[in-house]
């Protein structure tokens, strides 16, 4: 990456991260509408799955600012590809911060991931592993409990006695995630892909009390098609589903990518829509996604329109996302050729 592009990426990332850290660390279950812009939080097998040598990513999400203090999430990530004897391995890292509402619960995560490619004919199979640590901090004085409701004033009073106790104000625990990814290679007009991930495979304890509470598995299924409609136009429909004990969610999305003719500083433009809902509850949000790749820097914007029953409180305003992705082009040739003079 040239010094100028380094400065552009780092400066924009600094602005995003400074804005986030100025409001405190974040804590909610990771929840992105541009989930493929944060692949290391989606599936560890997606580490290194890009065309290039190095990838830097930053995504920031602010949700429900119209109701109270926004829920916000920020993820900074990087991954790098290594080739040896024609075989590909990749390493990456992702740092995530999360804050819920009035900051009662703050979370920071650091995960290191690795993946290995297995190629046969025109098929790609990737295995990925991710290990890391999670830190959660609870602000007890920011919480309200039913027994602290003052019926005389009609408001919660933190000075009232409370039987609810927490033995710890913070927890730190290790975490392990695994995943697999499949994609049909080649220059076909339709290329399917499928990803499967399993998070929290060691059932880490995350309770703030000594009674203990282990984090159950979360299963992620991600599948779609890369459809080449023309030389410059590609359409990618996809569905991503998450299952976490009794909670479930799926995101259906369609993205159109237009490759700009050579000679422009804008490499490609993309736009699309998505719908998020649960399997046993009402629709959550309709989502609009737009963006562009400018000189190798992919800038994406997404806005969630809340259409659930909570729309009465949010006035349909859901969440805003901004993502930045920079990919350094590969220096590895696609095929070897022996130069030969022509007569």
Query: Smallest Cα–Cα separation from 182: which of 228, 128, 131, 243?
Result: 128
Query: Smallest Cα–Cα separation from 258: which of 277, 230, 222, 281?
Result: 230
Check whether 314 has a pLDDT greater than 60. Answer: no
What is the dihedral angle through the alpha carbons of 334, 92, 38, 246, rounded to the nearest 10 degrees? Answer: 120
Contact (Cβ atoms closer than 8 angstroms) between residue 114 and residue 92: yes
Asked, for residue 295, whether it belongs to a domain, the answer is yes
Query: Smallest Cα–Cα separation from 270: which of 217, 219, 325, 320?
Result: 325
Check whether 8 has a pLDDT greater than 80. Answer: no
Bigger pLDDT: 336 or 97?
97
Asked, for residue 38, whether it belongs to a domain, the answer is yes
- What confidence tier does 18 reach under pLDDT thresholds 50, 70, 90? very low
Q: In the chain, which ranges are E strands?
A: 54-63, 71-84, 87-99, 105-120, 123-138, 149-150, 155-156, 170-184, 190-199, 218-228, 233-244, 247-259, 266-277, 283-294, 297-306, 317-328
Taking residues 305-325, report their average pLDDT.
71
pLDDT for the residue numbered 211: 65
* Range of the structural domain that residue 153 is part of: 3-328
Taking residues 139-166, report their average pLDDT.
68
pLDDT for the residue numbered 194: 95
What is the dihedral angle through the alpha carbons of 143, 147, 150, 155, rounded to the nearest 10 degrees? Answer: 30
Asked, for residue 340, whether it belongs to a domain, the answer is no
pLDDT for the residue numbered 205: 83
* Average pLDDT of the residues of the chain: 81
Q: Which residues pair with 223 in a beta bridge?
A: 194, 239
- What confidence tier does 241 reach under pLDDT thresholds 50, 70, 90? very high
What is the per-residue pLDDT across 250-307, written as a single tens digit (0 to 9) for each? Answer: 899 999 999 998 777 888 999 999 999 877 666 778 999 999 999 889 999 999 988 8
pLDDT for the residue numbered 221: 94
CATH number at residue 249: 2.40.160.40
Backbone angles phi, psi at 222, to 5 degrees: -135, 115
Bigger pLDDT: 145 or 28?
145
- Return the H-helix or E-strand segment holding 26: none
How many domains, in total, are found in the chain?
1
Asked, for residue 334, whether it belongs to a domain, the answer is no
- Return the H-helix or E-strand segment holding 15: helix 3-21
Within 13 A of 14's CA, how many CA atoms are on the CB side? 6
Task: Give the lowest-confidence range in 2-11, 104-113, 124-133.
Answer: 2-11
Cα–Cα distance for residue pair 102/65, rounded to 1 Å: 11
Bigger pLDDT: 65 or 107?
107
Cα–Cα distance for residue pair 23/25, rounded to 1 Å: 7
What is the per-residue pLDDT across 160-201, written as a single tens digit (0 to 9) for each? Answer: 766 666 556 788 999 999 999 999 987 778 999 999 999 999
In DSSP notation, 254-313 reads EEEEEEPPTTSSEEEEEEEEEEEE-SSS-EEEEEEEEEEEETTEEEEEEEEEE-STTHHH
């Amino acid at each position: 990456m040239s010094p100028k592009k380094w400065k552009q990426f780092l400066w924009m990332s600094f602005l995003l991260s400074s804005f986030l850290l100025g409001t405190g660390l974040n804590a909610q279950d990771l929840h992105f509408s541009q989930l493929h812009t944060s692949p290391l939080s989606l599936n560890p097998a997606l580490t290194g799955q890009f065309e290039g040598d190095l990838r830097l990513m930053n995504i920031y999400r602010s949700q429900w600012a119209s109701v109270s203090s926004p829920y916000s999430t920020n993820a900074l990530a990087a991954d790098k590809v290594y080739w040896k004897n024609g075989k590909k391995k990749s390493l990456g890292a992702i740092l995530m911060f999360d804050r819920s509402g009035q900051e009662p619960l703050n979370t920071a995560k650091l995960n290191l991931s690795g993946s290995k490619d297995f190629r046969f004919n025109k098929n790609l199979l990737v295995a990925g592993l991710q290990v890391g640590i999670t830190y959660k901090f609870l602000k007890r004085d920011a919480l309200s409990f039913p027994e602290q409701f003052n019926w005389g004033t009609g408001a919660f009073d933190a000075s009232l006695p409370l039987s609810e106790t927490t033995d710890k104000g913070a927890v730190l625990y290790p975490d392990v995630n695994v995943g697999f990814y499949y994609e049909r290679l080649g220059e076909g007009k339709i290329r399917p892909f499928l990803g499967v991930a399993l998070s929290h495979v060691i059932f880490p304890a995350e309770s703030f009390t000594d009674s203990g509470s282990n984090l159950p598995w979360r299963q992620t299924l991600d599948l779609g098609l890369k459809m080449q409609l023309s030389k410059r136009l590609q359409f990618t429909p996809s569905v991503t589903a998450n299952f976490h004990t009794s909670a479930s969610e799926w995101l259906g999305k369609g993205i159109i990518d237009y490759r700009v003719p050579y000679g422009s500083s804008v490499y490609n433009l993309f736009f699309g829509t998505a719908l998020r809902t649960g399997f046993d509850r009402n629709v959550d949000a309709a989502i609009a996604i737009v963006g562009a790749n400018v000189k190798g820097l992919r800038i994406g914007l997404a806005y969630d329109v809340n259409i659930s029953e909570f729309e009465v409180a949010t006035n349909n305003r859901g969440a805003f996302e901004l993502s930045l992705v920079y990919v350094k082009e590969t220096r590895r040739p696609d095929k070897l050729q022996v130069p030969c003079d022509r007569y």
